[in-house]
Chain A
Amino acid sequence: MTKVKFSRRQVLATTAATAAALAMPYVRGAHAAGKVTVGFWDHWVPGANDTMTKLCQQWADKNKIEVQIDYITSQGQKNLLTAAAEMQARSGHDILALPTWQPNDKAAALEPVDDIMGELIKQNGDVNDTVKYLGRKEGHWIAVPATTGSQFKGPCSRIDLLKKHAGIDVQAMYPAGAEPQADGWDMETFVTAAEKCAAGGNPFGIGLGVTSDSVDGVGAFFSSFGANLVDEKGDIHARSDSVREVMEFMKRLGKVLPQDAAAWDDASNNKFLVSGQGAMILNPPSAWAVAKRDVPAVAEQCWTHGMPKGPAGRYGPYLPYFWGIWEFGTNKAAAKDLLVHLSQPDNVGQLVAASGGYDLPSFANLTKFDTWANEAPPKGTLFHYPDPYLQQIKSIAGAPAPANIAFQIYNQGLQTKMVVRYLQGEKLDDVLSWAESELEGYSRT
């Protein structure tokens, strides 16, 4: 029965406090919606990171979210170590840039992104089969294909040397601003040109090592011959006729490559072109960009174009990067929104421009930015880099094997090792037996 009496001051103070508490969620401070942490790939092109930071900051300001960005280098596989450590610790960034095979490898810890990929495909056009193969698991999108870091490793040829040694006019075959006239650009023409250029003192610079450039190039040749070591079901076909056929082709090609090609890393082919020795390499336009800065006379003679056609089709090595969201991330909704923002056509265009045309978006409608048409010297040198007429099948070494097996084929450089073993005198049957045994080991779970 005790009565509690409120004074006028107490009533006013209580009312004010209650109103403030109720209104709190609707007050938007500078970072009212929290914080998103991102680990992006540290771009090798100076200034490219700045554009990325600018785009993220625009989004952050608009949404009142704090964005913290770390640029993680791929030198010394630092990005792979970071991804492995964050997955183990179940802690780290909300978004992490994941190279080619990492989404599938880390799928168990990634947030599905079917919702935003559906929208992005509707808006930007479909993505190629290689992106679907690498970015999906069990029918779900597990990562968003990134503009930054995605690249195509088609031929970058010396206009003058191919004309001089092999009589091939690459500019006529792949004219700037127009559809390719490359029906005759097949594997026979390619290997004959390699032989002629080697005889003329300017070999093709294709590596046979175990790093990405070598594996991608040789993998595309295997695909062009239909030489799939393992099929979609996981069955091994290392002794198929098409594998034997591509091995003979690679032996013929390998004989006219630089004698140390087996020891090449991802810098070797770039140096080979920039030094003026090589008539062709398989690489994104980074080598050309270095030549433009250091040896303009070489850059003026470079032309990036499509791969030769093989018995199974015209396959080109495509190496996409992805942006994944950890399922243990603390701000997943905001992380998805940021990835949608970065995949808007205007923003993709800015990222492509900042990379000097190196970055290659995966969406079909985003292959005709002015950057590729305008880059020079010579003008139009990068026009065919994004395959604007979609005449090549974007492929990845190891596909179409189940991703866990294909990843090991790629990572261990199985195809390049097969070629080197054959080149160094092992019998073909012995090489194929060895490859079979390796493939059996790769399928462990």
Chain B
Amino acid sequence: MVDTATKSGAYAGAARPRSSLKRLMQRKSTIAFLLTLPLILIIASLVIYPAFYAVHLATLSKSMTKFVGFGNFTFLFKREVFWMVVQQSCIFAISAVVFKALIGFFVAHFIHAIPTKGQRKWRGMLLVPWVIPPAMSTLAWFWLFDPSYSAINWLLALFGIDPVPFLGNPYWARFSVILVNVWFGAPFFMIMYLAALKSVPEQLYEAAAIDGANWWQRLWYITLPMMRNIISITVMFSLIVTFANFDIVRVLTAGGPIDKTHVFATYAFLLGIQGGDIPLGAAVSLFMVPILGISAIFILRDVTKRGNEA
């Protein structure tokens, strides 16, 4: 009797975990987790680990042998060139994003106004700058601005205009790097805004037309409110990417002349990789993280709020 009872109890105990494991495996959340596990692992190893490793590096001494806490940051705060880099990064990112957004907005409207049949080829052509790897297209721009053999200066000379030192003069050099960034990034805004425009219900415009709204009123009271979320997200995304830009500045000016075009990424590369001061380079590259992080939280919160209101 005793034997039998024990055996039957043991069977019951063995069956329970198997069935609960089965139940666990049948849960949608478990399946979803398992399906996303490869992505989670990739992000953990290629994004989260390097990010934390960069934070760790930024707290080490130049020789990477001792912990210095915020020492690298306090050192940077005393450097004139660093504050110039902060200022330039802001000028570069903000002006480039503003121009990209404006150009993208107007071009999207022009494309939207073209009959559907001819739209595709225009969309394709206008996306070309965005699909060429920027390191390559910037090299072409470098030749156009080349110190001695600028194609643009050759054209100017035909009209008797003196050559412009596009990359030799600090202000022209800043203009040049912003111009190339706008040229590269505007198509992204254009395609995002075009998608947003297409999702605005036509009935709203028809109702506005019946109410006698003019072009400006339709834009201000219908188009812009309907596009607010996409504008916010696009601007935020572009701001982060532009702040972190490396290739355009690196290829075009390498931060020169006299450091007047350095942005965070190029300055971090100069200090960390070229200069062998990896902790200081890491500190430079992490400097914008809190600022961008906070602005991202505010923008996304705004977007969510509007989404809930809708």
* A residues adjacent to B (C-beta < 8 A): 77, 80-81, 84, 88, 101-102, 105-106, 108, 208-211, 258-265, 268, 271-272, 275, 277, 407-408, 411-413, 417, 420-421, 424, 434, 437-438, 441, 444-445
The answer to whether A263 and B257 have CB atoms under 8 Å apart is: yes
Q: Is the CB of A263 within 8 A of B273?
A: no
- Contacting residues, chain A, for B168 (C-beta < 8 A): 259-263
Residues of B within 8 A of A441 (CB): 75, 78-79
Our pick among B63, B167, B256 for the contact of A210 (Cβ within 8 Å) is: B256
Q: Which of A101, A263, A268, A408 has the most CB of B within 10 A?
A: A263
CB distance B256 to A263 under 8 Å? yes
Bitwise interface map of B from 7 to 22 toward A, beta carbon under 8 Å scored 1, else 0: 0000000000000000
B253 / chain A contacts, CB cutoff of 8 Å: 263
Stretch at the interface among B31-39, B209-217, B274-282, B291-299: B274-282
| Chain B neighbourhood of A102, CB < 8 A | 276
Is chain A's binding surface mostly helix, strand, loop or mixed?
A: helix
B254 touches A211 (CB 8 A): yes
B residues in contact with A106, CB < 8 Å: 276
Check A445 against B276 for contact (C-beta < 8 Å): no
Query: Would you list 7 pairs from A and B whose C-beta atoms are within 8 A, ordered by A residue?
Result: A84-B276, A210-B255, A211-B254, A271-B148, A275-B149, A411-B275, A424-B258
In the complex, what's the smallest C-beta–C-beta distance from B162 to chain A, in angstroms?
10
In the complex, are the beta carbons of B276 and A272 less than 8 A apart? no
Distance between B5 CB and nearest chain A CB, rounded to angstroms: 52
Interface contact B278-A260, CB-CB below 8 Å: no
Q: Does B263 lie at the interface of the complex (its beta carbon under 8 Å from any beta carbon of A)?
A: no
The CA of A105 and the CA of B148, in the complex, are separated in Å by 35
Residue of A nearest to B280 (CB): A444
Question: Which 9 pairs of residues, A with B, have the shortest CB-CB distance?
Answer: A260-B147, A260-B168, A263-B167, A262-B257, A105-B276, A263-B168, A411-B275, A263-B147, A262-B168
**B147 and A445 form a contact (CB under 8 A):** no
Output the least CB separation between A131 and chain B (Å): 19
Residues of B within 8 A of A208 (CB): 257
- Tell me whether B270 is interfacial, beta carbon within 8 Å: yes
CB 8 Å contact bits of B79-112 with A (1 = contact, 0 = none): 1110000000000000000000000000000000
A262 to B256 CA separation, bound complex (whole angstroms): 8
Q: Is A209 within 8 A of B256, CB to CB?
A: yes
B270 partner residues in chain A, CB cutoff 8 A: 411-412
In the bound complex, do residue A417 and residue B258 qualify as a contact, i.e. CB atoms below 8 Å apart?
A: yes
Assuming the A-B contacts A258-B148, A263-B167, are A420 and B63 also in contact, with contact meaning beta carbons closer than 8 angstroms in the complex?
Answer: no
> Across the interface, which residues of A come within 8 angstroms of B165, CB to CB?
259-260, 263
Q: Which chain A positions have C-beta within 8 A of B278?
A: 84, 88
Expressed in whole angstroms, the Cα–Cα distance for A348 and B75 within the complex equals 46
A209 and B62 contact, CB distance less than 8 A: no
Residues of B within 8 A of A264 (CB): 147
Q: Assess whether B61 is in contact with A407, with CB atoms less than 8 Å apart.
A: no
Name the residue on B nearest A101 (C-beta).
B276
Which chain B positions have C-beta within 8 A of A411? Answer: 270, 274-276
Name which of B61, B80, B270, B275 has the most chain A CB atoms within 10 A of its CB. B275
* A407 touches which of B78, B255, B269, B275 (Cβ 8 Å): B275
Cβ-defined contact, A209 with B63, below 8 A: no
Query: Contacts A84-B278, A209-B256, A263-B168; is A445 near B148 (CB within 8 Å)?
Result: no
Residues of chain A contacted by B163 (CB below 8 angstroms): 259
CA distance A434 to B258 in the complex (A): 12
Asked if B148 and A268 make an inter-chain contact with CB atoms under 8 angstroms apart, the answer reads yes
Main secondary structure of the interface of B (DSSP, over half): loop
Cα–Cα, bound, A441→B82 (Å): 11
**Across the interface, do A108 and B63 meet the contact criterion of CB distance under 8 Å?**
yes
A270 to B62, CA, bound (A): 36
- A432 CA / B129 CA spacing, docked (Å): 43
B148 touches A81 (CB 8 A): no
Q: Is the CB of A420 within 8 A of B257?
A: yes
Complex CA distance for A125 and B147, rounded to whole angstroms: 43
A sample of 5 more A-B contacts (CB under 8 A), given A77-B273, A411-B270, is A80-B273, A262-B258, A271-B149, A275-B148, A441-B75
CB distance from B301 to the nearest CB of A (A): 38
Of A268, A424, A434, which is within 8 A of B147 by CB? A268
Q: How far is the CA of A87 from the CA of B270 in the complex (A)?
A: 18
Chain B, 143-161, CB within 8 A of any chain A CB: 147-149
A421: chain B residues within 8 A (beta carbon): 258
CA of A211 to CA of B62 in the docked complex: distance in angstroms?
23
Q: Tell me the complex Cα distance, A272–B274, Å.
A: 26
**CA–CA, A77 and B281, complex, Å:** 15
Docked pose: A259 CA to B148 CA in angstroms? 9
Query: In the docked arrangement, what's the CA distance between A88 and B64, Å?
Result: 10
Chain B residue numbers with a CB within 8 Å of A275 are 148-149
- Chain A positions within 8 Å of B269 at CB level: 77
Chain A nearest CB, measured from B143 CB (Å): 11
Instruction: Select which of B148, B170, B275 is within 8 A of A260 by beta carbon.
Output: B148
Assess the B276–A420 pair: CB atoms within 8 A: no
Set of chain A residues within 8 Å of B62, measured between Cβ atoms: 444-445
- A420-B148 contact given A84-B273, A260-B167, A444-B75, CB 8 Å threshold: no
Interface of chain B residues 164 through 181 with chain A (CB within 8 A): 165, 167-168, 170, 173
Residues of B within 8 A of A445 (CB): 61-63
Distance A421 CA – B257 CA, assembled complex (angstroms)? 9
With A and B bound together, what is the CA distance between A441 and B255 in angstroms?
19
Report the Cα distance A259→B167, complex, angstroms: 10
Q: Which residues of A contact B80 (CB under 8 A)?
A: 434, 437-438
Task: Output the residue of B62, B63, B165, B274 with the most chain A CB within 10 A.
Answer: B274
Inter-chain contacts of B280 with A (CB < 8 A): 444
In residues 282-306 of chain B, which contact A (Cβ within 8 Å)?
Answer: none
Cβ-neighbour of A438 out of B81, B254, B276 (below 8 A):
B81
CA distance A46 to B158 in the complex (A): 39
What residues of chain A lie closer than 8 Å to B170, measured between beta carbons? Answer: 424
Assuming the A-B contacts A259-B168, A411-B270, A412-B270, are A210 and B61 also in contact, with contact meaning beta carbons closer than 8 angstroms in the complex?
Answer: no
Closest to B255 in A: A210
A81 touches B273 (CB 8 A): yes
Please, which residues of chain B bring their CB within 8 A of the CB of A258?
Answer: 147-148
Please determine whether B276 and A407 come into contact, CB atoms closer than 8 angstroms: yes
Distance, CA A445 to CA B71, complexed state (A): 11
Hey, which chain B residues are within 8 Å of A434, CB to CB?
Answer: 80
Contact (A420, B254) CB under 8 Å given A263-B167, A275-B149: no
| Bound complex: CA A265 to CA B253 (Å) | 9
Point out the residue from A80, A259, A261, A444 that lies within 8 Å of B274, measured CB to CB.
A80
